[in-house]
A and B are shown apart, each in its own frame.
Chain A
Amino acid sequence: MEVLLPRSLDEALTMKAERPEAIPLAGGTDVMVDMNFGRLRPPAIIDVSRLGELTSHREDNGKIYLGSGVTYATIVREMAAFKPLVQASRSVGSPQIRNRGTVGGNLGTASPAGDALPVLAAYDAEVVLRSRARGERSLPWQTFLVGPKKTAIAPDELIVGTSWRRVRGPGSFSKIGTRNAMVIAVAGLCLVVDEDQRRVRVALGSVGPVIIRASEAEENVSAALATAGSWDDPAKLLADQSIEEFAELVAAAARPLDDVRGTANYRRHGCKVLARRAISWALSERRMPSWL
């Protein structure tokens, strides 16, 4: 096994082009577990944890760019404007894990339980990839995440970041697990209200082979808000029945399995509970906007 220690992104891309079988290593919170348990013995590892080019985040004309090497601790400290992302980041592992784990790692591992992923899906984020031969390209999140632990990345590419349009409106991330820390979600949900497009967006994690957008539930509740006149006047309440319908449709969108962390039935029930809470929080926040 060989460890490559590039000092710049250019150098890292050259190494990846020459050694496409090399595994990029950032915070190590997934890769090192498999290494320690002897499940992974790659011929080469590229340490991307010291590449300064990957650790910045910025906003330009309403477009957010988040470097793949930004840690969850940094997001919690510096990105308060993105509440669902901060909530998801704070729910990752423990302080030690958040100091190391990165959004790029969640994307690269592509586990449906990656906490940042439902948020990126609800933001309609793109994943930014780069190679030495072809430069940069961006893929919509659903094109990038093709299956459980499978992505559309080419062997000579590295994940350099993710980007999305700023969404004006409230939102949240919540998840179900056995305790508040060190939990791999049994079900996770991100809900974002897009006031400009008059659309509620909902993404689910840990309840299917990939992250799932509950499109039918989104359309249904967005239309119900229009019928109630709530888009123009947040004081106009949504009927309890519409909230219940929304929760049912979100649960119906889940494609859960039974596994060691929970049964499919429990997961589906969890989605319903999370959906009902998330829409209720968002609606009460719309009446007292703190996101403006």
Chain B
Amino acid sequence: MVVRTKVNGEWLEAEVWPGTSLLGLLRDGLNLYGSKNACEQGECGSCSVWLDGQLVCSCLVLAAQAHERTVRTVEGLRDDGRLHPVQEAFVEAGAVQCGFCTPGFVVAVADLLQRDPDPSPATVREALSGNLCRCTGYQKILDAVNLAAARMRDRP
């Protein structure tokens, strides 16, 4: 079937097997490899994207459910060639080791900070509870969240 979706501001179409997930559509149909495929069961958050503005695991959305709807992926965070403040903060804080979970974390953190510019430590932990990192031990990721939050408050 043909699925037509507005991805990062642009209407795109791809022919997919009807049982394909939105993650499959993004990676295999549209060659957007930023959203990672790890667990395929909503446990790890590596495939996090926005569907109509809501943070979701794209592996749990049927591609057809995104037909005629709006999707924003990690590729859509860069603005005019400049990294998003959350991406910058992850680089600076060293919140990346193997990097596989990073796109999902970046999307989840950006989602949190657009709703809550000054989150408490408990709020940050709850907001990131659906994203797994097996390298960093999370501390540098939490540092990156604080850094990004502070910067985004300073220059909104």
Contacts and interface: CB of A to CB of B under 8 A. Distances in A.
Given A94-B42, A96-B108, 18 more contacts: A1-B19, A28-B60, A32-B60, A35-B62, A36-B21, A36-B40, A36-B59, A45-B62, A47-B65, A93-B130, A94-B130, A95-B108, A95-B127, A96-B56, A97-B42, A99-B55, A181-B129, A182-B43
A3 B64 contact: yes
B130 A5 contact: no
B15 to A, nearest CB: 13
8 contacts: A33-B41, A35-B19, A36-B41, A94-B130, A96-B45, A96-B56, A97-B130, A100-B61
B127 A32 contact: no
B62 A96 contact: no
Given A45-B62, A100-B56, A182 B130 contact: yes
A1 B18 CA distance: 6
A contact residues, range? 20 to 34
B62 A3 contact: yes
Contacts, number: 91
Interface in A22-43: 25, 27-29, 32-33, 35-37, 41
A288 to B, nearest CB: 24
Q: Tell me what chain A mostly uses at the interface: helix, strand, loop, or mixed.
A: loop
Interface string B91-130: 0000000000000000010010000000000000011011
A37 B130 contact: no
A47 B60 contact: no
B57 interface: yes
B54 to A, nearest CB: 5
Nearest to B44: A182
The 4 closest A-B pairs by CB, nearest first: A94-B130, A181-B129, A36-B40, A3-B64
A237 B54 CA distance: 47
Contact of A33 (B40, B54, B108, B126): B40
A60 interface: no
Contacts of A25: 62, 65
A96 B21 contact: no
Interface in B47-77: 48, 54-57, 59-62, 64-65, 67
A19 B42 CA distance: 29
